[in-house]
Chain A
Amino acid sequence: MSRVLVGVKRVIDYAVKIRVKPDHSGVVTDGVKHSMNPFCEIAVEEAVKLKEKKFIKEVVAVSCGPTQVTETIRTALAMGCDRGIHVEVSGKDYEAMGPLQISKIFAALAKKEEASLVILGKQAIDDDCNQTGQMTAALLDWPQGTFASEVTIDGEKVKVVREIDGGLETIKISMPAVLTADLRLNTPRYATLPNIMKAKKKKIATMKPADLGVDMVSRVEVLRVDEPPTRLAGVKVETVDDLVAKLKANGTI
């Protein structure tokens, strides 16, 4: 009952105003502030908490992408992960990278590292896919506890309280398993400067998808990216009769 793999994704910071590229091929990322996906922060916090409660021995933070993602791994290490793995993906492969490729990488790593749990954020705030956790579990044929708002380890099983549309659902699944973190799972600790300095001593291993036997070929092609339609300005009316008249003219009534 030893190791947990946590996935962390480097995304555009949540507070940044997104701009679409003039050629509509994507979103402007050059020179834009990036940080760890908020749901990934919650995933890291949960893994570190499990280690602090002595349910697991080691937390490994994993991220896929170009050199810059090592900053995100460093943040995870500063939050308490023991070591990191950087799966190098760059250029066209990185642009086309999606849940399918990531889940293949994570499945391979979970087997290689003999992980008991894989904890991911429920979705990334840039693509909002909400697929990686589910796909990883399917590829591994492991049970999954998604949208977790509470996780309790009970021997070789995990009790997960899930946030679903109707309310809360409690399930008990066997380990090894995949969990995805929802907003109310915990309050992530801040990676302060002293912690970041201490984390510099921790190791980050580098590897390529090919080393894990994963092909990065994408089956999805992004055709176009557009901004959401701008909200039209509201119209003010003076009296109720005016309102009724306008609604009638609009065809609403």
Chain B
Amino acid sequence: MANPLRSEVRQLYKNLLFLGREYPKGADYFRERLKRAFMKNKDVTDPKEIKKLVDRGEFVIKELEALYYLRKYRAMKKRYYEEELSAVLNIG
């Protein structure tokens, strides 16, 4: 692997691992799958391919951030804001 890409990939792994601590199914579940996903591609050498995979990783980071935000927003909305019955029943 080209050197600058190696550190990019390592940083991506660390960033994803950090995000995985909050994963709803548990940090261990996340770490297992993260490791498997990275290991599956460990023999890729083409820099273009690697860049594509890193971009996919960045995309997953954005997806996770959105997931965490939505979970929290919905939990707060449910706890603190009364749902209008008519809105829930889809009438009126």
Contacts and interface: CB of A to CB of B under 8 A. Distances in A.
Contacts of A192: 15, 18-19, 61, 65
Interface string B15-53: 100110000100000000000000000000000000000
A109 interface: no
Contacts of A183: 73, 76-77, 80-81
Contacts of A220: none
B56 interface: no
Contact of A193 (B15, B65, B81): B15
B69 interface: yes
B35 to A, nearest CB: 17
Contact of A38 (B15, B24, B61, B76): B76
B15 A190 contact: no
Main secondary structure of the interface of B (DSSP, over half): helix
B77 A15 contact: no
A38 B68 contact: no
A91 interface: no
B19 A14 contact: no
Contacts of A39: 76
Contacts of A187: 69
Interface residues of A, number: 13
Contacts of A188: 69
Contacts of B19: 190, 192-193
Given A183-B81, A187-B69, A193 B18 contact: yes
A244 to B, nearest CB: 24
B9 to A, nearest CB: 15
B18 to A, nearest CB: 4
A228 interface: no
A22 interface: no
B80 A14 contact: no
Interface of A: 14-15, 38-39, 125, 183, 187-188, 190, 192-194, 196
28 contacts: A14-B75, A14-B76, A15-B24, A15-B71, A15-B75, A38-B72, A38-B76, A39-B76, A125-B76, A125-B79, A183-B73, A183-B76, A183-B77, A183-B80, A183-B81, A187-B69, A188-B69, A190-B19, A190-B68, A192-B15, A192-B18, A192-B61, A192-B65, A193-B15, A193-B18, A193-B19, A194-B15, A196-B18
Given A15-B24, A39-B76, A192-B61, 9 more contacts: A14-B72, A14-B75, A183-B81, A187-B69, A190-B19, A192-B15, A192-B18, A194-B15, A196-B18
